[in-house]
Amino acid sequence: MMRRLPRLELTALTTAALLTLTGWMTVHGEREVIPAVSQEEAPKVLRHFTDTYNKAWRAADPKLIAQAETGPLLAIGRADLTVERAEHPDGNPGAGALEFENARFTIPKQAGWPKFFVADADSNRGTDRWMLMFTRGGPDEPWRAAYLSLLSEDEVPDFALDGFAEPVPTGADSGLAVRPDRLSSSYVKYPMTGEGTEFADGPATSGLRAERQKHVRTPKYWTEYIDTPAYGGDFAPVGLRTKDGGGVVFFASYHRQKQTAAKGFRPTPPKRVEAVMTGKVRKAITLTRVFESSVRVPAKGAAEREVVFLNRLEGVTAAKGE
């Protein structure tokens, strides 16, 4: 399913400085297969995330989030706090505090870096659980959130656990119907061409394509779309095995939308877009969005082979006027 985070409270998961917590155990996992994080440390990561998230929104400071977020969440968060700062240049002390309870931690055993784990918890922001994927590039780096999914209790994946979770390799040895490192490139074909039969129908696939068709050409404007995959680095996919032998994979993608006005009209960008816009809108405006998604991928050879979206969040990260 697709959900958008409500403005101010959830529009952008933007967090503030996730500082290295003094006194935490240093983990050396270059060669040994060890838990990505200890059971004692994981709740501290989530608690610090919550504290810094609230600090960021009260301060409306986009400069802090790189210490708390990475990858697609950082791209979305930086843009959203830029908008928040434009609307509240002196900060927003009245921003409601985010709170978590009933947290659960899914921790894989891994060798080498980066390492990751998943936390899911009830929040005071509606009935969905927040499922956060935290990653860390080395023993001297802080844990940072790279992906967020908003899921009902029934939608939270049933991960395969033998004391710890099992990470899914991203390449040919994944054991999944679609390799995790090819999900992004496969997905971006769908809204543009209708290709991508690996994906089941739904709001993020057939629904998105149908919605776009309504805006390709109207009496006032026409719209062009360019979708491109996100590769490697902080945008690399991450997966965990599920009990049925499949996996849940987090991945990201880029989506650009250029709207050109017909003669006699001028595009009017939303006020919130202006804070991240370059150039002046005369005839056209191009919006760049980042999608960050969680999908359920069946095991290779399973009877059901379609990739199903669990959640997709998106944010406008840049805009250009022409």
For residue 247, give every residue at least 6 positions away whose Cβ sits within 8 Å of its Cβ, in sequence order, or none: 168, 174, 175, 176, 180, 239, 240, 241, 296, 297, 299
The amino acid at 24: W
Q: Where are the domains of the chain?
A: 34-321
pLDDT at 65 > cutoff 70: yes
Indicate the pLDDT class of residue 91, thresholds 50, 70 and 90.
very high
> What is the reported pLDDT for 13?
34
Task: Determine the pLDDT at residue 28.
Answer: 52
pLDDT tens digits for range 219-257: 999 999 999 999 889 999 999 999 999 999 999 999 999
State yes or no: pLDDT of 206 exceeds 70.
yes
Confidence of residue 60 (pLDDT cuts 50, 70, 90): very high
Q: Which range among 18-27, 82-91, 189-198, 225-234 shows the weakest confidence by mean pLDDT?
A: 18-27
Q: Write down the pLDDT at residue 11.
A: 37
| Per-residue confidence (pLDDT) for residue 68, from 0 to 100 | 84
pLDDT tens digits for range 105-154 = 999 999 999 999 999 999 999 999 999 999 999 999 999 999 999 999 99
* Predicted local distance difference test score (pLDDT) of residue 66: 83
pLDDT tier at 30, thresholds 50, 70, 90: low
Place of tokens 């978590």: 100
Closest CA to 310 of 129, 52, 72, 85: 129
pTM over 0.85: yes
Quote the pLDDT of residue 272.
Answer: 83
Assign 74 to helix, strand or coil: helix
Provide the 8-state DSSP code for 217. Answer: B
Buried b (16+ CB within 10 A) or exposed e, 124-150: ebeebbbbbbbbbeeeeebbbbbbbbb
